Amino acid sequence: MVDRTNRPSALKATDAAGPEAQVDIVGSGSSSKVIATLPSGESVEVLLFGATVTSWKSNGGKTENLWLSEKAALDGSKAVRGGVPVVFPVFGPPPKSDHPTSSLPQHGFARTSRWEFLGKSSAEDALGSNSVKLDFGLYSSGLTEDARKAWPLDFGLLYSVTLSKDSLQTIINVRNEGEQSFEFQFLLHTYFKIQDISKVAINGLLGVTYVDKVLNATEHKQSDNSVKITGEVDRVYASIPQNTTSIVEDGKPRFDVVRDNLQDTVVWNPWVEKAKSMGDFSPDDDYKHMVCVEVGAVQGWQKLEKGEVFEGGQTIKSLL
Ligand SMILES: O=P(O)(O)OC[C@H]1O[C@H](O)[C@H](O)[C@@H](O)[C@@H]1O
């Protein structure tokens, strides 16, 4: 019997989430999603396929914070282009050979697996504002045959998505449920919706060393306080001492991304040509309205021995 003690005490989807937050399961099969709405109108939508957050609205439900491609597949046929795909157990293309992840596809299997909805719980903060937490689980037994074959290790993932009035928290708990140790990488591939990429600055990375994947994976040091995006950007910032990366738009703070036990952040914008070349990126010029700031543990590997647990994630504050 597999020990699944990282599962929360099971709350059924039909249980009341406190007097006020509304939680519904909508759709069926691979298109099923969980929608949670606070009494003040803020909402979050999570597709069971990939446990992908596809929408997060703050500001009483008036402001969508996440970018989602018009051509994103939302039927389980491929990873979602937009929202917050979960990357596990490998980031990017896996090592070519001699690594347990070598047979996996780019970014691993978490974003293309069907997760279980484990339940919801609600809380009230000191100021009396509600929040609602949605828990999702993925276990080795829930993988497709291909994924299980490619990575035959026993693990349990518990992913908690907490919606509060002005923030969204997404936390992963990885447990080694087998006899053998394993290594993994993890990343939250958040697509932020922004008005105009030419007015965006990403702050909080000053002095950090990064690998520039556009410039042949060369290493550089961030020497400006702000990262500006004026062309294709694909950078892996590693071992960041600051906890918060800020997205500033037109001089005004737009999002704060606070890392919890994750040391790395990828900044990605495909720009003109790459956006055009991706069949599920639409409209073509929407690279102007998105930027990915992806928190993770992607430099080297996290190792878990039998029974060990890793926990890490992010809290995003919408500052509009
Ligand atoms: O096209 P995908 O597999 O979803 O990957 C999208 C992007 O993810 C990350 O940001 C990587 O750093 C990029 O190199 C990659 O292009």
Q: Tell me the pLDDT tens digit for each residue of 144-174.
A: 999 999 999 999 999 999 999 999 999 999 9
Identify whether the C-beta of residue 185 lies closer than 8 Å to the C-beta of residue 295. Answer: no
For residue 189, indicate whether it is catalytic: yes
Give yes or no for a contact between 296 and 188, defined as CB atoms under 8 angstroms apart. yes
Decide if pLDDT at 8 tops 80.
no
Q: Give the number of C-alpha atoms closer than 13 A to the C-alpha of residue 183, restricted to the C-beta side.
A: 13
Separation of alpha carbons 86 and 66, rounded Å: 14
pLDDT band at 9 (very low <50, low <70, confident <90, very high): very low
Quick one: tokens of 300?
């080297």
- 294 belongs to the catalytic site: yes
pLDDT score recorded for residue 15: 45
User: Which residue has the CA at smallest separation from atom 4 of ligand 1?
Assistant: 81
Give 97's pLDDT tier (boundaries 50, 70, 90): confident
Ligand 1 pocket list (CB less than 6 A): 79, 92, 106-107, 213, 234, 266, 268, 292, 294
Q: What is the pTM of this model?
A: 0.94
DSSP 102: T
C-beta of residue 285 within 8 angstroms of C-beta of residue 174: no
At 120-129, the pLDDT tens digits run 998 877 777 7
Protein residue with least CA distance to atom 11, ligand 1: 92
**The one catalytic residue among 45, 177, 249, 294:** 294
User: Which pLDDT score is estimated for 75?
Assistant: 96
Give backbone dihedrals phi and psi of 265, rounded to 5 degrees, phi first.
-145, 130
Among candidate residues 42, 177, 189, 249, the one labeled active-site is 189
Q: Kindly state the helix (H) or strand (E) to which residue 124 belongs, with its residue range.
A: strand 116-124
Two structure tokens written together for 78: 């491929």
The closest-lying atom of ligand 1 relative to the alpha carbon of residue 85 is 4
CA distances, 231 to each of 160, 196, 275 (Å): 34, 13, 11
pLDDT given for residue 242 in this prediction: 95
ipTM greater than 0.90: yes
Band of pLDDT at residue 19, cut at 50, 70 and 90: low
Q: Among 268, 274, 282, 287, which residue has the most ligand 1 atoms within 8 Å of its CB, making it the best to mutate? A: 268
pLDDT of residue 11: 38
For the cut 90, the answer to whether the pLDDT of residue 49 exceeds it is yes
Q: Look at residue 7 and tell me whether its pLDDT is greater than 70.
A: no
Which atom of ligand 1 lies at the shortest distance from residue 81's CA?
4
Q: DSSP state, 148?
A: H
The whole-number average pLDDT for the span 60-83 is: 98
Residue 92 CA, ligand 1 centroid: distance in Å: 7
The pLDDT assigned to 5 comes to 43
Q: Tell me the pLDDT of the chain averaged across its residues.
A: 94
Q: Is pLDDT at 300 greater than 70 in this prediction?
A: yes
pLDDT for residue 18 is more than 50? no
| Ligand 1 centroid – CA 268 distance (Å) | 8
How far does the centroid of ligand 1 lie from the alpha carbon of residue 95, in Å?
A: 15
